[in-house]
Amino acid sequence: MRRREIWLTLAAALLVVLAFFAARLRDDEALCGGRRYALDAVEKGSAPYVTLSADGRTGAFLIDYGATRSSLSTTAFAGPEGAVKNAVLSLAGVGAASFTLRAYGMPLAPAGGQLGVIGTDLLSRLAVQFSGRAAFIGAAACRPDELRARGLVPIFQRGFFGADPTLNDDHNPNVPVVFVRLGAVQAWAQIDTGYDDILYPHSIDINQPLFDRLAESGVRLDHVADIGVATCSGGESRGVYKVADHPLAIENGQGETIVRINSFYLIPKRANGCGGIAEMRAPAAQIGASFLKLFRTILFDPDDKTVWVRGRAGER
């Protein structure tokens, strides 16, 4: 009897291992087609970089859903900052594109430096999937029924991100969103894959209206640190807060919880004339790149104005 119990235990453990690897395989396959790109990141970072070529120069490009304009490095391409350059790009589904020349002054960059940024002016024309260490990028159409059958949850982007930015509400930038909830307070949060929140993982930038609403609702906001941030108007100090009495829920627009997080940080952004959520009167937020790992699989489908996330990710 004892031997039988041992064999049953071993069989159950084997099934768990097989299920784990089967899930990993499912997470690392193209759900909407597209070309596979290996994902790279800076040390301890989460922001997604892929290797591309522009006009014959090859290097790391940041896939940045927080940027509405694609750019190339002034170090690699001749011209003053802010100038426009047309370049042939090796990104699947694009071919050639217009870029703004930028000087990248970030202290962290992939090995070999950063050659460019792919923003939503190009990403809004492509289906993009992040799964583990791979990205699948292309112009193929997604099939919603198949994605639901594979356990993905839709986050509808009506009024926000899509192939036609003129359909966005209240002049919202063409940036995808999820919805965040703390206690009784819910707000939309831009998905900023270019915001590599290495210092405080699972950081959520919030504007003053959201900070005020959270305080009014009774959520206890504990100040833990201050950080220096470089902005278009110069350097500024921002407070970092923790919430001890409420988990953070990432939801779709219908209130369905996708993932619940107990350890996270809130960083209020004051209005400073640089645009973005800080200038908005309605409560709004912005999540950093570390959330990509929580989602396991996230798929951006601008044609259908939908972001798909692996559902029931549990509590972290």
Residues 309, 182 within the same domain: yes
For 114, the domain range is 35-123
Beta bridge partners of 239: 226
Among candidate residues 95, 127, 125, 123, the one with its CA nearest the CA of residue 30: 127
Residues 34-67: tens digit of each pLDDT: 999 999 988 888 999 999 999 999 999 999 999 9
Q: Is 304 found in the same domain as 207?
A: yes
Q: Model-level pTM?
A: 0.87
| Backbone region of residue 286 per phi and psi (left: phi > 0; alpha: psi in -120 to 50; beta: other values) | beta
Is there a domain that residue 16 lies in? no
Residues 105 and 242 occupy one common structural domain: no
Closest CA relative to residue 35, chosen from 137, 147, 141, 178: 137
For residue 255, name the pLDDT band (cuts at 50, 70, 90): confident
Q: What is the mean pLDDT of the chain?
A: 88
pLDDT at 16: 37
In the predicted structure, residue 174 carries a pLDDT above the cut 80: yes
60 and 184 part of one domain? no
**What pLDDT is attached to residue 8?**
47
Q: Where are the alpha helices (DSSP H) in the chain?
A: 2-27, 120-123, 144-149, 208-217, 291-295
User: Do 98 and 214 reside in the same domain of the chain?
Assistant: no
At 122-170, the pLDDT tens digits run: 999 999 999 989 999 999 889 999 999 999 999 999 999 999 998 888 7
- In a domain, residue 171? The reply is yes
- The CATH number that applies at residue 309 is 2.40.70.10
Rounded CA-CA distance 238/172 in Å is: 24
Last residue of a domain, one of 90, 123, 156: 123
The SS3 assignment for 265 reads strand
pLDDT tens column, 203-241: 999 999 999 999 999 999 999 999 887 777 667 789 999
Q: Reply yes or no on whether the pLDDT at 99 is more than 60.
A: yes
Q: Are residues 214 and 275 in the same domain?
A: yes
pLDDT of residue 24: 43
Nearest to 181 by CA among 246, 249, 283: 249
Domain count, the chain: 2
Is residue 176, in this structure, part of any structural domain at all?
yes
